[in-house]
Amino acid sequence: MTFFIVSIIKSAVVAFVLLTALAYLQWAERKVLAHIQLRVGPRRVGPHGLLQPLADVIKLITKEDMMPSHVDKFFWFLAPFIAVLFALIPIAVIPFGTELNLPAMDLGPLHIPAIQTAMQLTDINIGVLFILGISGLGVYGVALAGWSSNNKYSLLGGLRSSAQMISYELPMALAIAAPLLVLNTLSFRGIVDGQSGFMLGFLPKWTIFQVFPFNLISFILFMIAAFAETNRVPFDLPEAENELVAGFHTEYGSMKFAAFFMAEYCNMVTVSCVATLLFLGGWHPPFPAEYGSNYVPSLVLVGAGILSFLHGANPARPFDRITLPVFGVVFFGLAVLIAIPAVALPLMPIIWFSAKACFILFVYIWVRGTLPRFRYDQLMSFAWTFMFPIAIVNLFLTGLWVALS
């Protein structure tokens, strides 16, 4: 009974955090793109537009849902469900930190003793294969959406997505195989444990620094393939609006339209977490605690608080004179809280893991605001004539290194 209760609690927490992160990832993307393009971004709903995701959800829920008469109704309704389902499932095997000690809880007639549980929903020893298998099924949602819409633009988008997934799945799998050869495990928790500690006393034993430079090349190949797998710029050919109107989701509106974007952002989060676990040491810090790694989050928050007060003293908008000092006080309060050792000990792994994943998500947004879209022939040629051969050679050299060492 205790196991089921703890599992339900963890599922609720993960679902709440993930859905909230997806909503505010969209807000962050609009803000970052606005800064890149010298615009202001969302700012009308709430301070600095922080309530914009809530407004978007309300708009999409209440928006009239139109269904074209020419669609295949069953598969047209099924497609967004499949896309979201296979985007959400992989998060179940992602570990976010070390073991967590939960205190005893007295819930009236039910008493839960103090227990130790992993910071993930379930730990399976083939987590990497599970992620690859489930994420590969997500293309069925896009392909079905394109086919069932009975629209030429949608069909072309669905076909592009299928070809793109098949092409970039191969170099991605080969890129993932290289660190697995070095660490000799398919369990995410085992992979992170294999990256603990430091080389030469200061260099983290992250996979990108082991068997150098082959695993670093694997990381670069993985990230390029991840952009294509998640249909992000410069590989967003399935929904190229200047060619296909909106591609596979042309005939969708309201919450069905939102479901495809929810699946896209969820896939981005999953890829960022997998890259963090495979190549960037998971929840391990970039330098030892004796050199002050535990104080970095507090220093970052103090810097954010100081910037908030400085911008509040010279506001760009009148309302900033009120909101920015409030944010500054919150940042200072969080900095003091995280500096307390009893609080920092369980939170520090989650903080480092989240920081690395958020950095990769920022790169996603940065690339979208920087690079133009590929042509379709460039997309396919890049996968088969450049990435695939390099991935094979890199995997061979990594295996040779491991065999000879």
84, 115, 10, 13: which is closest to 270 by C-alpha? 84
pLDDT score of 306 more than 80 = yes
| pLDDT score of 320 | 85
- The set of residues, in sequence order, having a beta carbon less than 8 Å from that of 123 and lying 6+ positions away, is 93, 95, 187, 188, 189
- Residue ranges of the domains in the chain? 2-284+340-404
Collect contacts of 359-362 with beta carbons under 8 A, ≥24 apart: 360/223, 360/271, 360/272, 360/275, 360/276, 361/25, 361/28, 361/268, 361/269, 361/272, 362/32
Residue range 223-227: mean pLDDT, rounded: 94
User: Rounded to whole angstroms, how far apart are CA atoms 39 and 327?
Assistant: 22
Assess contact for 270 and 89: CB atoms under 8 A: no
- The set of residues, in sequence order, having a beta carbon less than 8 Å from that of 58 and lying 6+ positions away, is none
Assess contact for 241 and 140: CB atoms under 8 A: no
Its sign, for the CA torsion 132, 138, 143, 148, is positive
170, 151, 140: which is closest to 386 by C-alpha? 170
CA distances from 206 to 42, 118, 203, 341 (A): 37, 21, 8, 25
User: Rounded to whole angstroms, how far apart are CA atoms 244 and 94?
Assistant: 35
Q: Average the pLDDT over each of 16-30, 106-120, 268-282 and give the range with the smallest value.
A: 106-120
382, 394, 405, 356: which is closest to 177 by C-alpha? 394
| pLDDT score of 206 | 95
| pLDDT score of 105 | 63
pLDDT score of 291 more than 70 = yes
User: Rounded to whole angstroms, how far apart are CA atoms 383 and 141?
Assistant: 23
Q: What is the pLDDT of residues 364-373, one digit of tens each?
A: 999 999 988 8
pLDDT score of 64 more than 70 = yes
What is the phi/psi pair of residue 258, to 5°?
-65, -30
User: Rounded to whole angstroms, how far apart are CA atoms 306 and 304?
Assistant: 6
pTM of the entire structure?
0.93
> Using alpha carbons only, what angle is made at residue 169 by residues 163 and 175, rounded to the nearest 5 degrees?
150
| pLDDT score of 107 | 60
Q: What letter does residue 199 receive in the DSSP assignment?
A: E
Assess contact for 298 and 335: CB atoms under 8 A: yes
| pLDDT score of 181 | 93
Q: What is the pLDDT of residues 145-197, one digit of tens each?
A: 888 888 888 888 888 888 888 889 999 999 999 999 999 999 999 999 999 99
Strands 110-112 and 203-204: unpaired
| pLDDT score of 146 | 87
Q: What is the pLDDT of residues 82-104, one digit of tens each?
A: 999 999 999 999 998 887 776 66
pLDDT score of 260 more than 70 = yes
Among 2-6, 317-321, 323-327, the range of highest mean pLDDT: 323-327
386, 390, 363: which is closest to 28 by C-alpha? 363
pLDDT score of 224 more than 90 = yes
Q: What is the pLDDT of residues 109-132, one digit of tens each?
A: 666 677 777 788 888 889 899 999
pLDDT score of 325 more than 70 = yes
Residue 158: CA atoms inside 13 Å, Cβ hemisphere, count? 24
Neighbours of 21 (CB within 10 A): 18
Residue written as tokens 């098949």? Answer: 166
Core vs surface per residue 358-392: b (16+ CB within 10 A) or e? bebbeebbeebeeeebbeeeebbebbeeebbebbe
pLDDT above 90 covers a percentage of the chain that reads 50
Q: Look over the chain and give the mean of its residue pLDDT values, rounded to a whole number.
A: 89
Q: Indicate the pLDDT class of residue 135, thresholds 50, 70 and 90.
A: confident
Of residues 105 and 269, which shows the higher confidence score?
269
365, 360, 301: which is closest to 328 by C-alpha? 301
User: Rounded to whole angstroms, how far apart are CA atoms 278 and 273?
Assistant: 9
Of residues 217 and 241, which shows the higher confidence score?
217
**Total residues found in the chain within this entry:** 405
| pLDDT score of 110 | 62
Neighbours of 405 (CB within 10 A): 7
Q: Indicate the pLDDT class of residue 337, thresholds 50, 70 and 90.
A: very high
| pLDDT score of 220 | 96
| pLDDT score of 201 | 82
User: Rounded to whole angstroms, how far apart are CA atoms 264 and 239?
Assistant: 12
Neighbours of 138 (CB within 10 A): 26
